[in-house]
Amino acid sequence: MLPLELNGVCPDEGDSYVVHPKICDLKMVPNLRRSNSGFCKSKRKAHFATGNNEKENLSAWISENIRKKECVYFVESSQMSDTGRVMCECGYPREQHLEEATKPSVFLGKEWDPKRHIQEMPTDAFGDISFVGLGPKVGKYVRVSADTPPCIIYQLMTQHWGLDLPNLLISVTGGAKNFNMMPRLKNIFRRGLVKVAQTTGAWIITGGSHAGVMKQVGEAVRDFSMSSSCKEGKIVTIGIATWGTVYNRGSLICPMGGFPAEYVLDEESQGNLSCLDSNHSHFILVDDGTHGRYGVEISLRTRLEKFISEQTKVKEGVAIKIPIVCVVLEGGPGTLNTIYNAITNGTPCVIVEGSGRVADVIAQVANRPLPEITISLIQKELSILFRDTYELFTEGKIVEWTKKIQDIVRSRQLLTIFREGKDGQQDVDVAILQALLKASRNRDHFGHENWDHQLKLAVAWNRVDIARSEIFTDDHEWKPADLHPVMAAALIANKPDFVKLFLEQGVHLKEFVTWDTLIYLYENMAPSSLFHSKLQKVLVEEKERSAFSKVPKIQLHHVSQVLRELLGNSTQPLYPKPKHAERHRLSIAVPHIKLNVQGVSLRSLYKRSAGRVTFTMDPVRDLLIWAIVQSRKELAEIIWAQSQDCIAGALACSKILKELSKEEDDTDSMEEMLTLAEEYEHRAIGVFTECYRKDEERAQKLLIRVSEAWGKATCLQLALEAKNMNFVSHGGIQAFLTKVWWGKLCVDNGLWRVILCMVFFPLIYTSFITFREKRLQPMSCLTRTHAFFTAPVVIFHLNILSYFSFLWLFAYILMIDFQATPSWREYIIYFWLFSLVCEETRQLFYDPDGFGLLKMASLYFSDFWNKLDVCAILIFITGLTCRWIPSTLYPGRIILSLAFIIFCLRLMHIFTVSKTLGPKIIIVKRMMKDVFFFLFLLAVWVVSFGVAKQAILIHNEERVDWIFRGVVYHSYLTIFGQIPSYIDGVNFNLDQCSPNGTDPYKPKCPESNKDKRPVFPEWLTVILLCLYLLFTNILLLNLLIAMFNYTFQQVQEHTDQIWKFQRHDLIEEYHGRPAAPPPFILFNHLQLFIKRVLLRQPAKRHKQLKEKLEKNEEVALLSWETYLKENYLQHQQSQEKQNMEQNIRDVVQRVAVLAELLDLDQVKRTGLVEQRLTGLEDQMSQTAKTLAWIVRALRGNGFGSEEDAPTVVPSKAPELKEYGLEEKPKETTALYHVSARNLLYPSSSTVRFPVPDEKVPWEVEFQIYDPPFYVADRKEIAACDPLRDSLEALSKINYNAMDGLINRQSFHGTYTIQNRLPLNPMGRTGLRGRGSLRCFGPNHALHPIVTRWRRNMDGSIYRKSLKKMLEVLVVKSPVSDHWALPGGSLEPGESLPLKLKRVLRREFWPQFQNLLNQGAEVYKGYVDDPRNMDNAWIETVAINVHFEDKNDVQMKQLNSFLQGSDPEACVRWQLVDKRIPLYTNHKELLQKVTALLGAYY
């Protein structure tokens, strides 16, 4: 292990595999305005209809940051335009130049130079683009300079155009002219491209013109948009075209922005130019100041694609570096360069075979071994696929194509050939995603980071099919802990298929769900969810209470507070608030949880020690709650299927959803919640039914079991809180309630038997009544008496008898025996009422669950009948108080009469237990609500008619009581037919009224004249009366009847369920009620007072309604419930399969698959026939050659030599295989150097002469070989060999010997000297000179390979595949992104490389030299390095320094002396395997070391 200080210098990068975005320095861009919203936003909504302010802001930003290019000097060109106009060298006519460009200036007399005569100025073309006559589609466009930094364009697209960051970048390239594709292949390509873009959220980048491959992409997007109605499914298609080649571009010019600019697509008149494709959504038009020159956009497009692919997208817990893939259709030389550059940069490419030209050339040779890809083969393929233009291919061009195709095919991990119906491929989307994963899989990496990256890509793309087929394979063994970060990401992103996949792969929720994980999940809830807003409200309230400066972070006790509101008062907090000592542990700050947002991955959350990670009590419950409060149906379904306490969980989910639906404003969301709540209620019913069928007793025990996971509530309590009538009305639950109702009596006893035993007490001791428990069956047992009178059914009937007696005596007192001095009967009433008050007090304070007084009070007053009891008692006490005061004796009797009414209403609750009367009482209660709504409507008409009638008939009535009678009372009676006689003036009689309103017992007379006849308009009052009766008697009363009828029918349909649900409350009340009825119940109250107050014994709940089981019994019961839940789920699946609609869908799907397979089989057969015909043609050609040789031999009168005879090649047909079964070509070690022939020399713009594999040896003739000469500038010129033009200095060099301090001897023997320059012993490289190397000839290097054994925690050597595993010392310099072995070039006269000295302290250099002297030499010779040239190359000596013992003193000294003069260099011990990210030649050296030591590689 490295010392701590070394690990601090180089932190472990095993988990930090997501590279931060390399955003270009915005400060370097002049006048760039930074957006307040930040450079990358996680959520933006693309919209085209922008407001005026947004348009103004966009115009201002573009005018300051986006430039175009204009020619500022007109130089007449020798070429004329098609119309005969004089053109400038830039391609534009004189009239399209600026006025200053055509005037004599400082440029006069100079040749036209684009670098000097084309200048940048603010762009004049941007905004929205609308294609005339092609529908209402509106896109975005901008004209940009070819030198625009890609970060500016990226900012324009993401911030001002409102594009979401992509999960994938698809660069489509190929033929720019229209080409023909087979209809089937065209359809497959279009469907696959759109599918991959739509499912992964990708951007598609093309050339943007209405021709060639761009047109194919545009039509694919068009077909998708026409068939899709989902607005969120819009595909972002970005066209990057050359401004100077766009036809009709003048209509796009608008200095202030076109909103929209109308563009006409006219293919017939475009000539050599091209029109924009109307199916692209965004256009970037690249301007270099010229006209008619294609390919201007290539450089900017490449830089923009590279910049986007370097960005990191963080969304829903997943951080991915945006991957890029190149898709190729058809194409010419430019397309080949694009493919070559993409492969060189590590971008995977998908070649669509059958599209033509370049794509088919590469596809034809891709499966061949590299030695077979020769110049003649490429020449043959070009002659077939480029028939029309083959004569344009020179010998040099064919050589260049061969070299590039060899390099492309050499990187097979980046190359994917899509063959229609072959290699198991059916869709382009699968091929594209497989290409990305294949490239990622073959990329060098540390540890698991590559597999993690692939899985993150699959999650971001939401393609679980790709994850199953490409990632979770036998090639890699996934540990459950490795999946925890992506599991959290899948949960947040609501990707249930991935959650299900991870559970199948062994993720244990008990290990996954920690306190920190749960907090992280709640922090990343959907902001649109109702639960999130309720949680934020709790945080704000806590901030106000605690006077915090900012809103506190979410903790689980905040979540518990909201859940308590949703689950009801019967549950205790699910996440108790931690104490101060624990709060720090539970409230660990998690700013780093989002994967790599702060540079640390979410994986670190699961790498803590066991002492720091706090696991929750029930992880399945926690995830289920998190999913259900967001109404995530599929996720909740998967998690619920994992739960043990599934019935309680389903009922709790139903309760939560019903409570949330009450506060949900959106109607659709509310209906979804209610539907989901009903679904979970049915699941609870289904599982309970399975349990009840299996074992009734254990099933009923599930109902009353105290569930610690759900706040110490029972299933029955949760069902009652959620008002799950279907569940409560289940036969098994009703049987349980009936058993509770009868207590220890058998339920078979008739009610009449119980009543007889109540009347004739001795019958209890006979066999007249039976008990459930056999021990109570013997006669003369006191327990039989206790069992009988403690049965709720007996207590209930005794209380009925007592209550009727109370009401009878109360009525007798009020009507007959109400004296000034109370009689003894009245005192009995008072005593009786006191016993009722004591019982209500007992119910209020009865707290067996320890909820507390406040909660018990809220529970008590939440019941309507308890409120009615309290109201009756208070009115009775008020009347009793007035009764004892002589002056208020009569008012006291009135008040007591009102109390009697309320006591009578209490009878309705008593009879709810009756199956006949219970539902009717429920109907009455529901109708009372209808009456209140009706009274509001009625009051409007009564008051309006009463006020109008009173004002018309009576003048200035001042008596309030008579005003009330006239306005309300008389109007109300009119509805029932008591019409005032004087209202129509016919039965007007002054004797029945008071003219002046002085008689308090008569109403005031209506308006009359001197003859005492009414003067009010009788016709008006009659009309008002008729209208009033019409609306009240006919309309409103019928409305009330209709409301009653609707309520009755609604309740009547569910009468049985409602009655069964309501009877529980009564059963529970009398189950916990003292046995004696009032007033004898006071004896029980006295007993309870002694126990609770004096003896302080806690209250205990009867086990029949709530029981806490022993741990072992509870575990066994839950396991049994889980087993039956699985049976229920299997039964549900079988029912779905038997569903007719599902069967029809399955049959349709199978037929479609069968048809597809038949089509694929036909394609395969056709391809096989073509292969056989090709083989037959080759055989016939060889046969013809053989016959020609025979003829020539016979004519020459000789048989000829056998060596000259052409060999008859056997038929190839038997060797040819179907593509689906074709074996991949075996990769062999390259015979020649490869890196030394890379076309672009490192750190320069110098391009090598292309050298195909077959032309590498100097012995092979290569007449056209003419490599350029290149020598790089070096700082230490004095220590380097001279340049070529110094012939005198070159002649002084002593090759193949020691030249002073410089060793010019090669490990491969004597090398050839030609023209005073040495020749590379390994062959041609395509470049002469010494490049960036120090010397001509061999440049010697030293590579120490320091290794040790990888060890387990116990010190034993770690093994894989029975082989020991090594660790090697690797270094990374600050100027390089690659890790390397600690070695390098040797300076003249030095024994240690300079790079090694930088990481070792000076005092350790001699000791390390001794280690090298004792080490084993594993290689000495030529190194295939990209810096090698024809006249200079690198040779090295690789020495292995291996530490066998873990306690080796020299190894400990090495660790302590690492990190020398270069503090920025990073050093680490790294596990050795074939994917270790080192330079290729260093990996070859490392492989030799593993072979030497017999270690795993």
- Model confidence over 1163-1206: pLDDT tens digits? 555 556 666 776 777 778 778 777 877 777 777 766 554 444 44
Choose the weakest-confidence range: 70-84, 336-350, 650-664, 1150-1164: 1150-1164
**Residue 596 has what pLDDT?**
35
Do you find a cis peptide bond into 1321, omega within 30 degrees of 0?
no
Q: How much is the pLDDT for 1010?
A: 67
Which secondary-structure segment (H or E) carries 202? strand 202-206
1332-1378 confidence digits (pLDDT tens): 898 899 999 999 999 999 888 888 888 888 888 899 988 887 767 67
Judged against a pLDDT cut of 70, whether residue 258 lies above it is answered with yes
Q: What percent of the chain has pLDDT over 90?
A: 24
Q: Which residue has the tokens 């699941």?
A: 683
Residues 812-823: tens digit of each pLDDT: 999 998 888 888
Which of 458, 574, 599 minimizes the C-alpha distance to 522?
574
For residues 693 and 734, is the Cβ–Cβ distance under 8 A? no
Q: Residues 49-60: what's their mean pLDDT?
A: 75
pLDDT of residue 82: 66
Share of the chain above pLDDT 70, in %: 83
Which of 473-477, 812-816, 1412-1416 comes out lowest in average pLDDT? 473-477
- Among 358-367, 470-479, 633-642, 848-857, the minimum mean pLDDT is found in 848-857
For 58-62, 771-775, 1110-1114, 1400-1404, which range has the lowest pLDDT when averaged over its residues?
A: 771-775
> What is the mean predicted confidence (pLDDT) over 66-87?
81
Q: Enumerate residues 6+ apart whose C-beta is below 8 A from 725.
A: 1054, 1057, 1058, 1060, 1061
Q: Which range has the worst mean pLDDT, 718-727, 975-984, 1109-1118, 1414-1423?
A: 975-984
Residue type (1 letter), 862: S
Measured CA distances, 616 to 56, 574, 586, 705 (Å) = 54, 10, 11, 21
Q: How far is CA 69 from CA 122, 288, 294, 755, in A?
A: 9, 6, 16, 106
At 634, the pLDDT band (50, 70, 90 cuts) reads very high
Q: Is 216 or 570 the better-scoring residue by pLDDT?
A: 216
1011-1015, 1025-1029, 1058-1062, 1415-1419 — which is least confidently predicted?
1011-1015
The confidence score (pLDDT) of residue 1421 equals: 92
Beta bridge partners of 325: 170
Please give the residue that has the higher pLDDT: either 1448 or 1483: 1483
Who wins on pLDDT, 1261 or 862? 1261
Give residue 228's pLDDT. 65
Most confident of 37-51, 628-642, 1128-1142: 628-642
pLDDT of res. 605: 47
Among residues 1028, 1019, 1008, 1024, the alpha carbon closest in space to that of 953 is found at 1008
Answer yes or no: is pLDDT of 983 > 80.
no
Q: Over 50: is that where the pLDDT of 18 sits?
A: no
Q: Would the pLDDT of 775 be above 60?
A: no
115 pLDDT band, cuts 50/70/90, is: confident
Q: Which two tokens stand for residue 108?
A: 């006069």
Residue 1429: per-residue pLDDT: 93
DSSP 295: T
Supply the pLDDT for residue 787. 81
Among the residues of 1445-1493, which ranges form H helices?
1449-1457, 1480-1493
Distance in angstroms (rounded) separating the CA atoms of residues 847 and 842: 9
Backbone angles phi, psi at 599, to 5 degrees: 90, -5
Q: What is the mean pLDDT of residues 1410-1429?
A: 90
Based on the number of CB atoms within 10 Å of its own CB, is 418 exposed (0-12), middle (13-18) or buried (19 or more)? buried
Q: How confident is the model at residue 1318 (pLDDT cuts 50, 70, 90)?
A: very high
Q: How many CA atoms are closer than 13 Å to the CA of 192, on its beta-carbon side?
A: 24
Question: Cα angle vertex 827, ends 822, 829, to 5°?
Answer: 115
pLDDT-derived band at 444, boundaries 50, 70, 90? low
If you average pLDDT over residues 1133-1138, what whole number do you get? 77
Longest dimension (CA), the chain: 164
Res 19 pLDDT > 70: no
Rounded Cα gap, residues 545 and 543, in angstroms? 5
Question: What is the band of 29 on the pLDDT scale with cuts at 50, 70, 90?
Answer: very low
Rg, C-alpha atoms of the chain: 46
* pLDDT score, position 52: 74
d(CA 862, CA 851): 15
To 5 degrees, how large is the angle CA 1228–CA 1229–CA 1231?
110
* 716 touches 1105 (CB < 8 A): yes
Name the average pLDDT for the chain.
80
Burial of residue 1267 (CB within 10 Å: 0-12, 13-18, 19+) is middle
Mean pLDDT throughout 37-66?
Answer: 62
What is the model's pLDDT at position 944? 86
**Residue of 1218, 1214, 1212 whose CA lies nearest to 1161:** 1218
Rounded CA gap, 135 and 933, in Å? 53
Residue-by-residue DSSP string for 1313-1369: EETTEE--TT---S-EEEETSSSSEEEEEEEEEEEEE-B-TTSPBPEETTEE-EEEE
Whether the CB-CB separation of 499 and 603 falls below 8 Å is answered with: no
Mean pLDDT in residue range 792-818: 90
pLDDT value at position 1216?
35
* Position 759 confidence tier, pLDDT thresholds 50, 70, 90: confident
Per-residue pLDDT for 419 more than 70?
yes
- 990-1014 tens-digit pLDDT: 677 877 777 777 887 877 766 666 6
User: Mind listing the pLDDT tens digit for each residue in 171-228?
Assistant: 999 888 877 778 888 888 888 888 888 888 889 999 999 888 898 898 888 888 777 6
pLDDT at position 1418? 92
Look up the pTM and report it.
0.72
